[in-house]
């Protein structure tokens, strides 16, 4: 019976954390959702704590990532209905299980390392472990639901601290406040409970004060640079049509009309979504000719989402593609090109190819796999260097930080999202909002079916499209060359916390 109560308690905390991102948007729950797991980790043995952590993580990541199942049905890709159902379910379970492993390791580590330490030491080690595990997680291909992203885009005031050391700053803040609240319940004396409460309130006030200072309007405006009138075309083109000749005609028509409208309205730059016109570029294709003629006529530079031939000399298959954005102006030259680096497993490449190759290859509508671009790409344009990301890359802060530190002045994010539920698009928008804050940059988001938008350096959404609608919009954005602490030094907080944690634990171990 006690074990069942522990399981339900851990699951309750995980469900609360699962309610923080869209579609529920109860971001404030993140500041208390870790309390059950913290308390359990201080009472249970390591093995039991790991199990409770896994339950917490399964509920959190399972709820937050349930949109993955909306890729079903994939009959338009030639995958039978039941096969599509089981594939979508299996992918969701595998990704959720990976998240559960991480929270299980954290809870186990808390049980093993912190039960006999004071509150300050527990909090420091807890932050070091959670942030460290998230960093390790971000090295792989399945990264999305870091604790820090639960606050975006609704809690902009507190989210400003991510300028200090990136997403892990917010993760550490959430762990710290949860830990102090949990310790109020765990401590036996009123004096100790009061100290924990005062510490939690003081930290929250300090974070809010920093956020208010960062969000002063005149402070941000004074450091804006060159203005650009940027246009977005949201083509609202269902993926099921990408494999049909009539669909190609609709896509070209939608983007041609949008380009002409924005060019006539005074746009200086136009952005289309990921794979907006899904033909090989710069190869001539008569089906793309109306769009090409419009660009030749107006000569307004446009970022065209499409496929390119591989530029990777080590590619296994010379027929592979790149998922790319091409900056063109009708001159016949590619002004700039960005090739997607972070590819989606199964959708763009085959993981564990020797084992799963024949089984998974049928899932892709392409004749070959997508080749990843260089992780050290820098995108130079007529306006200066830009920070560019395609789709899934929005979840990886280090990608944005690298390009910003190298001189990137404006974020361009292009994605498709047409095959997922609308709340996935909301979560994707939240990722780009967080990246804008960390980098202190304006962001232009062009998506196929929503949400497209413009975001300022404080994360405020200046304009946001509807979902599943065809839209164009023109907005003035600004080039910036400011450098946040995160851009200058990267995630310096996590290694610092790890060093302090090792020192604390070593001192405790060898003096007792």
Q: What is the dihedral of CA 497, 176, 11, 70, to 10 degrees?
A: -70
Active site residue 353: no
Helices and strands (DSSP H and E) totals, the chain: 17, 12
Active site residue 75: no
Phi, psi of 48 (to 5 degrees): -70, -35
Other C-beta atoms closer than 10 Å to the C-beta of 292 total 21
pLDDT reported for residue 365: 42
Average pLDDT over residues 370-398: 94
Residue 500 clears pLDDT 70, i.e. is over it: yes
Phi and psi based region of residue 409 (left: phi greater than 0; alpha: psi -120 to 50; beta: remaining)? alpha
Distance (Å, rounded) from C-alpha 40 to C-alpha 6? 7
Other C-beta atoms closer than 10 Å to the C-beta of 15 total 16
| All residues at 6 or more sequence positions from 486 whose CB lies less than 8 Å from its CB, including other chains | 162, 163, 164, 165, 166, 169, 401, 438, 439
Average predicted confidence (pLDDT) for the chain: 90
Residue 447 clears pLDDT 70, i.e. is over it: yes
Which of 59, 127, 196, 391 is an active site residue? 391
Q: If you write DSSP's letter for every residue of 124-158 in order, what string do you get?
A: HHHHHHHHHHHHHHHTSS-----GGGGGTTT-HHH
Rg (CA), the chain: 24
Average pLDDT over residues 193-204: 97
DSSP label at 512?
A: -
Q: Which of 310, 317, 237 is nearest to 278 (CA)?
A: 237
Q: If you write DSSP's letter for every residue of 39-101 in order, what string do you get?
A: HHHTTS-HHHHHHHHHHHHHHHHHHHTGGGGGG---GGGT--HHHHHHHHHHHHHHHHHHHHH
Average pLDDT over residues 427-435: 97
Which of 274, 348, 369, 393 is an active site residue? 274
The residue to which tokens 């159902």 are assigned:
85
460 falls in which pLDDT band (50, 70, 90)? very high
Active site residue 391: yes
Other C-beta atoms closer than 10 Å to the C-beta of 23 total 14
pLDDT above 90 as % of the chain: 73
Which of 340, 348, 438, 498 is an active site residue? 340
Q: If you write DSSP's letter for every residue of 453-486 in order, what string do you get?
A: EEE-TTS-EEEEPPSSS-EEEEEEEE------HH
Residue 405 clears pLDDT 90, i.e. is over it: yes
Average pLDDT over residues 149-164: 96
Indicate the pairing of strand 384-390 with strand 411-415.
Answer: parallel
Residue 22 clears pLDDT 90, i.e. is over it: yes
pLDDT reported for residue 21: 96
Distance (Å, rounded) from C-alpha 321 to C-alpha 134? 31
Indicate the pairing of strand 453-455 with strand 443-447.
Answer: antiparallel
Phi, psi of 263 (to 5 degrees): -60, -40
Among 56-65, 155-164, 362-371, 468-477, where is mean pLDDT lowest?
A: 362-371
Q: Mind listing the pLDDT tens digit for each residue in 228-254?
A: 999 999 999 877 776 677 778 888 999
Bridge partners, residue 380, by sequence: 385
Distance (Å, rounded) from C-alpha 328 to C-alpha 293? 12
């Amino acid at each position: 019976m006690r074990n069942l109560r522990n399981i339900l308690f851990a699951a309750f905390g995980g469900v609360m954390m699962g309610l923080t991102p869209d579609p529920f948007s109860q971001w404030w729950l993140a500041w208390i959702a870790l309390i059950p797991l913290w308390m359990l980790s201080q009472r249970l043995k390591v093995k039991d704590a790991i199990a409770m952590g896994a339950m917490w993580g399964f509920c959190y990541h399972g709820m937050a990532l349930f949109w993955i199942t909306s890729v079903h049905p994939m009959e338009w890709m030639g995958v039978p209905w039941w096969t599509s159902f089981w594939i979508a379910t299996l992918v969701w379970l595998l990704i959720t299980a990976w998240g559960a492993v991480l929270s299980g390791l954290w809870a186990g580590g808390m049980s093993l390392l912190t039960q006999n330490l004071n509150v300050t030491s527990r909090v420091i080690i807890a932050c070091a472990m959670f942030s460290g595990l998230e960093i390790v997680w971000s090295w792989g291909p399945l990264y999305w639901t870091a604790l820090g992203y639960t606050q975006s885009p609704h809690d902009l005031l507190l989210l400003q601290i991510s300028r200090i050391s990136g997403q892990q700053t917010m993760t550490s803040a959430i762990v710290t406040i949860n830990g102090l609240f949990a310790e109020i319940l765990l401590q036996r004396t009123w004096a100790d409970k009061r100290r924990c409460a005062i510490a939690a309130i003081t930290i929250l006030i300090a974070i809010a004060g920093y956020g208010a200072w960062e969000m002063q309007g005149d402070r941000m405006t004074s450091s804006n640079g060159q203005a650009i009138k940027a246009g977005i075309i949201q083509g609202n083109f269902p993926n099921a049509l990408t494999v049909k000749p009539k669909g190609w005609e609709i896509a070209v028509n939608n983007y041609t009309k949008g380009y002409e409208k924005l060019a006539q309205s005074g746009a200086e730059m136009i952005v289309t979504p990921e794979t907006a016109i899904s033909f090989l570029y710069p190869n001539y294709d008569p089906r793309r000719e109306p769009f090409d003629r419009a660009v030749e006529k107006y000569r307004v530079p446009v970022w065209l989402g499409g496929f390119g031939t591989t530029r990777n000399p080590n590619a296994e298959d010379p027929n592979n593609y790149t998922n790319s954005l091409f900056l063109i102006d009708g001159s016949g030259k590619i002004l700039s090109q960005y090739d997607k680096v972070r590819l989606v497993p199964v959708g763009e490449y085959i993981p564990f190819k020797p084992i799963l190759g024949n089984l998974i290859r049928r899932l892709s509508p392409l004749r070959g796999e997508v080749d990843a671009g260089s992780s050290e790409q820098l995108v130079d344009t007529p306006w200066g260097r830009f920070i560019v990301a395609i789709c899934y890359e929005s979840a990886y802060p280090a990608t944005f930080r690298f390009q910003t530190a190298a001189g990137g002045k404006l974020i361009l994010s292009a994605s498709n999202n047409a095959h997922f539920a609308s709340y996935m698009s909301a979560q994707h928008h939240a990722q780009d909002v967080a990246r804008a804050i960390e980098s202190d940059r304006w962001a232009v988001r062009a998506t196929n079916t929503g949400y497209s938008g413009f975001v300022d350096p404080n994360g405020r959404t200046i304009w946001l499209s509807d979902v599943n609608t065809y839209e164009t919009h023109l907005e003035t954005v600004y080039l910036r060359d400011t450098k946040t602490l995160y851009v200058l030094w990267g995630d310096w907080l996590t290694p610092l916390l790890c060093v302090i944690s090792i020192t604390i634990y070593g001192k405790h171990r060898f003096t007792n």
